[in-house]
Amino acid sequence: MYHTIVKKLVKNSFKELSAGNYHAATDLMAENCQYYFVGKHALGGRRSHRALISTWFERFLRILPQFQFKPTEVLVNGWPWNTKVAVKLDVSWQRPDGEIYKNIALQMMTLKWGKAVNIITIDDTHGFGALLDDVVHKFGVAEAAATPIEG
């Protein structure tokens, strides 16, 4: 039963994130959550507390509004005091030029008593970096080339 509840919460947080509500994700994080998005770009890097993760999500949604996250597989293992969650995501974004960007992302989380304490997101970093370059150079969003939000 616990694993089913966790799966539902995870799927719902990605549904809400796709609608622009990042609070559905950050509300599931511990205050001292560690979040690492792999890549050397404006959205890459490590953040070590929920407030900074919220700042990162705000940037993500400014750079890539209406970015879509579709969990295709959610695996949950462990007990409430140490739960591991793996999520396979199909992600997409309709670019301003009408083309559709598509990628696959994997996310691993550790939860303690229902709150995420550690998250890592891995995708095709080359493809994602190329998308951010296009957002800067073709669509004029300078923030997509900013220094990563880390700390």
Asked if residue 150 is part of any domain, the answer here is: no
pLDDT value at position 66?
96
Determine phi and psi for 59, rounding to 5 degrees: -65, -45
Render pLDDT for 60-111 as a digit per residue (tens, 0 to 9): 999 999 999 999 999 999 999 999 999 999 999 999 999 999 999 999 999 9
Task: Give the CA dihedral 43, 64, 107, 21, nearest 10 degrees.
Answer: 110
Q: Which two tokens stand for residue 33?
A: 């959550």
Asked if residue 151 is part of any domain, the answer here is: no
Which domain, by its residues, includes 19? 2-145
Task: Give the CA dihedral 10, 14, 15, 21, nearest 10 degrees.
Answer: 120
Host H or E run for residue 53: helix 50-63
**What's the total number of domains in the chain?**
1
User: What is the pTM assigned to this prediction?
Assistant: 0.94
87 near 25, Cβ under 8 Å? no
CATH number at residue 99: 3.10.450.50
pLDDT value at position 26?
97
What mean pLDDT do residues 130-139 have?
A: 96
Asked if residue 134 is part of any domain, the answer here is: yes
Q: Which two tokens stand for residue 49?
A: 């507390």
Asked if residue 49 is part of any domain, the answer here is: yes
**Alpha carbon separation from 142 to 18, 47, 64, 80 (Å, rounded):** 22, 21, 12, 42
What mean pLDDT do residues 114-132 have?
A: 95
Asked if residue 130 is part of any domain, the answer here is: yes
